Structure 1
Amino acid sequence: MHMVGCPMELEDIPVPTPGPQDVLVRVRSCGIVPNLANILSNWPTWFPERPLPPLPAIFGLDPAGEIAAVGSQVHAWKAGDRVYVNPGRYCGGCRACRYGDHINCTHYTFNGYFGFSEKSLPIFQAYPYGGLGEYMTAPQYSLVSLPDSVTYDQASRFGYLGTAYSAMRKAGVAPGKNLLVNGISGTLGLGGALFGLAMGATRILGTARNKGLLERVKALAPSRIEVLSLEDGRSIDEWALEVTQGQGIDIFIDASGPGAPHESFLQGMRSLRRGGQTIDIGAAAGSLPVDIHTMMDCQHSLAGSLWFSAGEGQDMADMAAAGLLDLSVFEQVKFPLAKVNEAISGIENRNGGFGNFVVNP
């Protein structure tokens, strides 16, 4: 991309050389996430404090492929290994990094996407290659080993899947827990359903608008999943209390994005049992009128969860290899690299979270 708001251009550039602790990846698939169009057109206006990479830049958030070459200090990986590349980049030297809290690094940056502060600029300079190209360099700490049972197209969905998985790990999703996901049929929310099943949640409740997509979600596990369309006019909290026989919800995951109405978020919070948790992964925008006195009395918690670590990505790959995580539900919509602009504009017509738009360089 040469200019914000303009179409991407296909160009030939030299194949990069990996640094000592980096690998060179031959990209086979790169996921196109719904937010990419906003990043490319509106981001500098909406969030000027979160910079894009210096232009011209190669974008692409969710790449997967095989290692083509390794740096001199890379010992755990070899050419030919099948990998997903986590785009989260960190400095390795700040206090958060030294504690192993890499996602809270002062320099944290999404490679091929955007950064979280001006400190992202040196990270962009070190790793200027996103996933929308035939080759990219990546630090060895970012890699997830893929089993043969996971295709590159499926792996290119790991970004949004991992966002849900990391939040659910933080919340302690496990057998005996019930889970409510607002926006369960969308790109983020469907991960909540899949990992709720994989992690053993006893009951999964899901809300969204599209009744057809909700029925598809329920069909994943009819005995464990209950769904409610927001078009039905019922209050989420009343419905959730009814489904749980008055117990309330252990964990509420909100996957609704910017522009979504706040009332469903608030109703989800009101459905919590004593000690219940709310975790936001959808980036619903604006200020919520939260009753903090009730939060105190009922020991409720509200937190945000951003992205996921490469280690959590490896968990996901291992769960898929073991048959716990079903990635076959995704419908792959494929584009060659030359049609990347069509892929970005066409994702608005995806089949909810079931559609997986990918570019195959």
Structure 2
Amino acid sequence: MKAIVLREHGGNDKLRLETEFPDPVAGPGEVVLRVGASSLNYHDVFTRRGMPGINLPFPVIIGLDVAGEIASVGPGVTDWQPGDRVLVDPIDRVNGGLVGETIHGGLAELCRVPEHQLIRLPEGVSYDEAAALPVAYGTALRMMNRVGQVAPGERVLILGASGGVGVCAVQLAKLAGAEVIACAGSAEKAERLRELGADHVILYTEEDFLTAIQQKFGKPARRRGAANRGGVDVVVNFTGGDTWVRSLRALRLGGRLLTCGATAGFDPKEDIRYIWTFELQIRGSNGWEREDLHELLDLVQRKRLRVLIDRKWPLAAGAQALASLENRQVTGKVLVGA
């Protein structure tokens, strides 16, 4: 079969299209999918580069998010049959492991997974929509709803709003009844975020987001009381790096900073004075649960949640697709497939 294969860590040139990679064969309790779509995430960039403490079983086919049609089933599989439309939960919650990292992923014509990782697709949800959900939208839903508990009337500032997690976070905050301030790097991205429901957009290439927040909503005050509404209630920051301290300073008294990653640096400068002085809450969120994916599929089926797809690349251009994500040239999700 054709597949985008990684045989050693390094730059994007290490991702190679191979046309005669061995076809997977379904073993006991497994199925083989004919891949309809696979979406890329920044985790795929880290997998290609190499991550401290994680040793991969090379060769590896990247692509955590996979949706497609079952092509064949292995011995003992009774609940699934060829032709079934499915989404794969990338996390193997029984045996451990992760699709696209320890298990061959979706940047291939075929993909083998254990049957317990399958979720049946509802009618009306396409492979493209489904493949965009688990890592980015699943992470966003858990962070915003389960951990962050975003509430009606709150002001929510979202950094990195034009990425996969960000575009979902914008929509979930609006569904919760919040006032959304989204940060974007271009006028084009800003317009797409407004289309998704963002009430305000800050172009961080033209103005500092902290200055913009303080000018619009006032500076946070340490005094308690209903009159103290300076700053925002929630900041969503999964970039880290040099945005961390400014995110703390944008929060009102008792505000919440939500984080689920650190794409711009995991060891930012810290100033804990803002945390104790303003009684801030730092809430970390890690991944998603199976019920989160079911909820997302339901939201998409009912047209409550839009899957924003930047572009779908052909399999042969899988390396270029990942480069577009790594270089932050996208709004929403990057897909690869037929």
**TM-score, length basis structure 2:** 0.81
CA distance in 1, matches of 2:59, 2:269: 41
- Counterpart position of 1:96: none
**Contact preservation (8 Å) 2:183, 2:203:** yes
Output the CA distance in 2 between the equivalents of 1:266 and 1:240: 19
Which amino acid in the other structure matches residue 161 of structure 1? Y
Q: Give the 3 Å change call, closer, same or farther, for CA 238–350 of structure 1 in structure 2.
A: closer
Match of 1:118 in 2: none
**AA of the residue aligned to 1:15:** P
1:315 paired with 2:290, answer: no
Does 2:314 align with 1:340?
Answer: no
Could you tell me whether the CA contact under 8 Å between 2:66 and 2:87 is conserved in 1?
yes
| 2:15 aligned counterpart, secondary structure | coil
Q: Which residue of 2 aligns with 1:117?
A: none
Q: Does residue 1:27 correspond to 2:35, yes or no?
A: yes
From 49, 54, 77, the counterpart of 2:53: 49
Corresponding residue number in structure 2 for 1:16:
25
Q: Could you say which residue in structure 2 is the equivalent of 1:281?
A: 260
Aligned partner of residue 340 in structure 1, secondary structure? helix
How many pairs were matched up? 317
CA offsets, 1:90-137, max 9 Å, x none? Answer: 446xxxxxxxxxxxxxx5x43213xxxxxxxxxx3xxx3311222222
Aligned partner of 2:121 in structure 1 is 146
2:8 corresponds to: 3
Q: Secondary structure at the match of 1:168?
A: helix
Tell me whether 1:212 sits opposite 2:215 in the alignment. no
Do the aligned partners of residues 276 and 24 (structure 1) sit closer, same or farther apart at CA in structure 2, a change above 3 Å counting?
same
3-state SS in 1 of match to 2:140:
helix
Residue 78 of structure 1, CA deviation:
4.3
> Percent sequence identity over matched residues?
26
Q: 1:129 is paired with a residue of what secondary structure?
A: coil
> Which deviations, in whole Å up to 9, do the C-alpha atoms of 1:242-282 show, x marking residues without a partner?
4998353222111326xxx51x3322222223332111124
Distance 1:174 1:142, change over 3 A: farther
Give the SS at the match of 2:111.
strand
Alignment partners' CA distance in 1, 2:282 and 2:93: 26
Q: Which residue number corresponds to residue 304 of structure 1?
A: 284
Q: Secondary structure at the match of 2:164?
A: coil
Q: Please tell me whether the aligned partners of residues 248 and 274 of structure 2 are also in contact (alpha carbons under 8 angstroms).
A: no
Q: CA deviation at 1:171?
A: 0.7
> Which range moved further: 304-313 or 287-296?
287-296
C-alpha change, 1:297 and 1:17, in structure 2 (3 Å) is: same
SS for the counterpart of 1:194 is helix
- Aligned with residue 112 of structure 2, among 137, 143, 162: 137
Q: Which of 158, 162, 165 matches 1:185?
A: 162
Coordinate RMSD, CA, aligned: 2.9
Matches within 5 A, 1:50-89: 50-52=54-56, 54-70=57-73, 77-89=80-92
- Using the alignment, how far apart are the partners of 1:34 and 1:287 within structure 2? 18
Matches of 2:324 and 2:267, distance apart in 1: 31
3-state SS of paired residue (1:232): coil
**Are positions 1:229 and 2:229 aligned together?**
no
Equivalent-residue separation in structure 2 for 1:78 and 1:240 (angstroms): 56
Q: CA deviation at 1:140?
A: 3.5
The 2-side partners of 1:3 and 1:291 are apart by 39
Q: Matches of 2:39 and 2:219 in 1, distance apart?
A: 36
Q: Which runs of 5+ in 2 are unaligned?
A: 1-5, 221-227
Three-state SS of the structure 2 residue aligned to 1:188 is helix
What's the CA shift string for 1:189-233, capped at 9, x where partnerless? 222112222x32321111233233113212333xx6211122224
Aligned to 1:253: 236
Aligned residue for 1:196, secondary structure, equals: helix
CA distance in 1, matches of 2:191, 2:131: 25
